[in-house]
């Protein structure tokens, strides 16, 4: 369907794509992935004909129609429904001609073509697409100028999907969508009858939609069969085969393999070797994550705070004396991990702003612990960073009066050390700016993080790093996101914002998806949305158990890291002893003085210590796995 032959693209004197080639399968659903700044959007613009490559060519079958969303959102007096219908330019032109043509022969041709393209079902098809993307009947017929930029970008997406091009180019289509619309889009794209090239950083979205993954790295393109998880496995296997895997996880694999090989045959250690073999089989590869300092997230932990942190009692909140949410009864404790669910426009951000003390309750009461500090992240903070100032300047202003070491330390937690700290914000990637905004809002070690769509500028690996950092953080977390993976990995309490209020959702993210996709919404809400959790289970006890598990997990992670450090040091010692035994000329001075008998005794001691460290690491790892399973 699409043939990319030896294309090279240079921007600002830098080679972004370097002699890259790939043939995309016809009717394939291809996910284009790569780190921030790798050139994914540049490649899409080349394919769309918006950017001329410096070398090579992009070819498609003759008369193929290509669809791509422009950066500017549609506007004006037209409605979303009219905009979507008008996207099928052939149908629109034929409909106009059918009204004005007086030639019976031509009218016959027009109607034949209209039947062929199923033009008469177009209005209902356009309406279904708009409903799926969140536009009810009334909203479909309002002028575009009534909508925000994000909602107008949804209209642009609806128009593109309605036009059904032969090659559908989508660059981060979920950025302006809520979770419900993302799920609808997944279902739509899975049954799309032509070729899709999709840029996304959402693991679940990629896994649920694509059947091929196109990886752009180092200016080169590599096509893998399967979704994102399949890509990760194949990528990790490929790295192992060429001995270029540098991740910590690979080092753990090597140690386990070595232990199993050395101890499987001995009766005294066979059980431990078998346990290590199982741990090895369960480990999931994480490609290109741990070694990259640009993926650094390390939230400072707050001092202890007695519960509750916040209580809402029949509170109402809104704007200009008009409440958006009423009858709010919520309690937030220092160990809570909460995800706010619900469609965009239902009030999730309004509730977040109330909890962050940016809005005051109109009615009812809101009690807040006087010592509580809140870190509140929004996309606006990313956009409002001064492009001409550096991360160091931003943090110095935010931490007024703090010594330079403390300022540098906070920046270092988020990967801004050395030259990165003095690079102008305007030269940073979107992901780097998001990390800087997170560094700024956590400078005083807040007791609660409120994160409103924190992943929009982060690639897949950076999102994984954020998940790990949130799980290591000891304060409370309240998160709004359309990325299911981050919700599943960080939240143990769900709050549904709907029908003008907020209530506990007793179930998992999978239960919520079933609730949203159910054919009978009223039945689904009764079954899943209002106290449908297992009978006899106390939600407070569940939250307490989750908090205890997190605390235990943090201690186990520390033990595992300590054992890993010991193993690395002891392995170096064993290697040094081996070198002294077999190549005395290159031995360390202290070891060169020892006799062969002394070296053998020294090696035996180190080997015993390595075994003990391995046991300590495995026990901590298995205990951690048991509480997170």
Q: Is pLDDT at 441 greater than 90 in this prediction? A: yes
d(CA 217, CA 221): 7
Token pair belonging to 196:
């899709």
Q: Is pLDDT at 589 greater than 50 in this prediction? A: yes
**Higher pLDDT, residue 13 or 438:** 438
State residue 502's pLDDT score.
95
Which has the minimum average pLDDT: 184-193, 240-249, 452-461? 240-249
State residue 28's pLDDT score.
92
- What proportion of the chain, given as a percentage, has pLDDT over 70? 86
Q: Is 13 left (phi over 0), alpha (psi -120 to 50) or beta?
A: left
Q: Is pLDDT at 71 greater than 90 in this prediction? A: no
State residue 526's pLDDT score.
40
The alpha carbon of residue 612 and the mean position of all alpha carbons in its chain are separated, in whole angstroms, by 38
State residue 248's pLDDT score.
60
State residue 269's pLDDT score.
62
Q: Is pLDDT at 538 greater than 60 in this prediction? A: no
Mean pLDDT in residue range 589-606:
83
Mean pLDDT in residue range 41-51:
91
**Higher pLDDT, residue 522 or 24:** 24
Confidence of residue 404 (pLDDT cuts 50, 70, 90): very high
Q: Helix 404-413 crosses helix 391-398 at what angle (to 10 degrees)?
A: 120
Which has the minimum average pLDDT: 208-217, 338-347, 372-381, 516-525? 516-525
State residue 551's pLDDT score.
65
Mean pLDDT in residue range 594-620:
81
**Higher pLDDT, residue 314 or 592:** 314
State residue 549's pLDDT score.
65
State residue 286's pLDDT score.
47
Question: 476-480 and 448-452: which strand pairing?
Answer: parallel
Q: How many CB atoms lie within 10 A of CB 252?
A: 18
State residue 425's pLDDT score.
93
Which has the minimum average pLDDT: 60-74, 136-150, 196-210? 60-74
Q: Is pLDDT at 541 greater than 70 in this prediction? A: no
- Of 102-116, 429-443, 536-550, highest mean pLDDT: 429-443
Which has the minimum average pLDDT: 89-93, 299-303, 469-473? 89-93
State residue 395's pLDDT score.
96
What backbone phi and psi angles, to 5 degrees, belong to 103? Answer: -85, 110
Mean pLDDT in residue range 351-368:
95
Token pair belonging to 462:
């950076």
Round the average pLDDT of the chain to a whole number and report it.
Answer: 83
Q: Is pLDDT at 129 greater than 90 in this prediction? A: yes
Mean pLDDT in residue range 497-522:
79
Mean pLDDT in residue range 560-578:
81
State residue 555's pLDDT score.
75
The per-residue pLDDT for range 92-123, each reduced to its tens digit, is 888 888 888 888 888 888 888 888 777 888 88
Q: Is pLDDT at 408 greater than 70 in this prediction? A: yes
State residue 542's pLDDT score.
53
Q: Is pLDDT at 500 greater than 70 in this prediction? A: yes
Q: Is pLDDT at 522 greater than 50 in this prediction? A: no
3-state DSSP assignment of residue 172: coil
Contact 83, 69 (CB under 8 A): no
Which has the minimum average pLDDT: 16-20, 291-295, 309-313, 343-347? 291-295
d(CA 521, CA 531): 16
The DSSP line for 225-287 is: ES-HHHHHHHHHHHHHHTT----HHHHHHHHHHHHHHHHTT-TTTHHHHHHHHHHHHHPPP-T
**Higher pLDDT, residue 462 or 331:** 331
Task: Show Cβ contacts of residue 549 under 8 Å, excluding neighbours closer than 6 positions.
Answer: 627, 628
The per-residue pLDDT for range 203-221, each reduced to its tens digit, is 999 999 999 999 998 899 9
The per-residue pLDDT for range 249-282, each reduced to its tens digit, is 666 667 767 777 777 776 656 655 675 676 566 5
Contact 339, 323 (CB under 8 A): no
The alpha carbon of residue 57 and the mean position of all alpha carbons in its chain are separated, in whole angstroms, by 32
Note the maximum CA span of the chain.
108
């Amino acid at each position: 369907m699409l043939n990319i032959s030896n294309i090279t693209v240079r921007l600002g004197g830098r080679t972004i794509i370097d002699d890259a080639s790939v043939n995309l399968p016809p009717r394939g659903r291809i996910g284009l992935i790569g780190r921030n700044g790798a050139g994914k959007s540049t490649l899409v613009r080349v394919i769309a004909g918006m950017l001329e490559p410096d070398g090579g060519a992009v070819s498609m079958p003759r008369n193929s129609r290509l669809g791509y969303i422009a950066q500017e959102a549609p506007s004006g007096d037209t409605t979303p429904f009219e905009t979507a219908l008008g996207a099928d330019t052939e149908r629109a032109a034929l409909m106009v001609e059918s009204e004005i043509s007086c030639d019976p022969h031509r009218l016959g041709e027009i109607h034949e073509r209209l039947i062929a393209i199923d033009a008469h079902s177009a209005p209902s098809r356009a309406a279904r697409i708009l409903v799926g993307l969140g536009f009810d009947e009334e909203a479909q017929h309002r002028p575009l100028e009534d909508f925000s930029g994000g909602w107008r970008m949804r209209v642009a997406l609806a128009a593109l999907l309605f036009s059904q091009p032969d090659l559908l180019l989508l660059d981060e289509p979920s950025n302006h969508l809520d979770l419900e619309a993302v799920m609808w889009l997944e279902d739509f794209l899975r049954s799309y009858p032509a070729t899709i090239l999709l840029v996304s950083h959402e693991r679940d979205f990629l896994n649920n939609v694509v059947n091929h993954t196109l990886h752009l790295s180092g200016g080169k393109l590599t096509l893998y069969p399967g979704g994102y998880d399949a890509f990760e496995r194949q990528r990790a296997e490929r790295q192992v085969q060429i001995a270029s895997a540098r991740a910590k996880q690979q080092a753990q694999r090597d140690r386990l393999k070595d232990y199993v090989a050395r101890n499987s045959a001995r009766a005294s250690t066979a059980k431990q070797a078998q346990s290590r073999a199982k741990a090895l089989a369960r480990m999931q590869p994480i490609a290109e994550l741990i070694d990259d300092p640009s993926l650094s997230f390390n939230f400072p932990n707050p001092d202890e705070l007695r519960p509750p942190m916040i209580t809402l009692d029949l509170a109402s909140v809104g704007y200009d004396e008009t409440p958006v949410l009423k009858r709010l009864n919520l309690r937030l404790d220092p160990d809570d991990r909460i995800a706010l669910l619900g469609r965009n426009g239902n009030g999730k951000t309004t509730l977040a702003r109330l909890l962050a003390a940016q809005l005051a309750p109109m009615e009812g009461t809101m009690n807040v612990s006087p010592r509580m500090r809140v870190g509140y992240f929004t996309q606006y903070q990313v956009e409002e960073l001064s492009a001409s100032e550096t991360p160091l300047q931003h943090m110095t202003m935010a931490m007024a009066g703090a010594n330079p070491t403390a300022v540098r330390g906070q920046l270092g937690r988020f990967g801004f050390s050395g030259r990165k700290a003095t690079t102008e914000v305007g030269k940073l990637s979107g992901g780097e700016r998001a990390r800087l905004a997170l560094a700024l809002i956590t400078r005083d070690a807040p007791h609660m993080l409120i994160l409103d769509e924190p992943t929009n500028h982060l690639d897949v690996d950076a999102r994984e790093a954020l998940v790990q950092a949130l799980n290591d953080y000891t304060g409370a977390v309240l998160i709004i996101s359309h990325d299911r993976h981050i919700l599943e990995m960080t939240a143990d309490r769900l709050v549904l914002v709907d029908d003008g209020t907020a209530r506990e959702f007793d179930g998992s993210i999978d239960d919520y998806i079933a609730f949203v996709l159910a054919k009978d919404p009223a039945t689904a809400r009764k079954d899943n949305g209002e106290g449908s959790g297992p009978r006899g289970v106390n939600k407070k006890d569940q939250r307490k158990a989750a908090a205890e598990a997190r605390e235990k997990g943090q201690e186990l992670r520390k033990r595992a890291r300590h054992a890993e450090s010991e193993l690395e040091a002891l392995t170096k010692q064993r290697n040094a002893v081996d070198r002294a035994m077999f190549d005395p000329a290159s031995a360390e001075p202290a070891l060169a003085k020892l006799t062969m008998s002394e070296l053998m005794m020294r090696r035996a001691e180190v080997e015993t210590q390595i075994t003990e460290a391995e046991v300590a690491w495995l026990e901590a790892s298995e205990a951690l796995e048991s509480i997170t399973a």
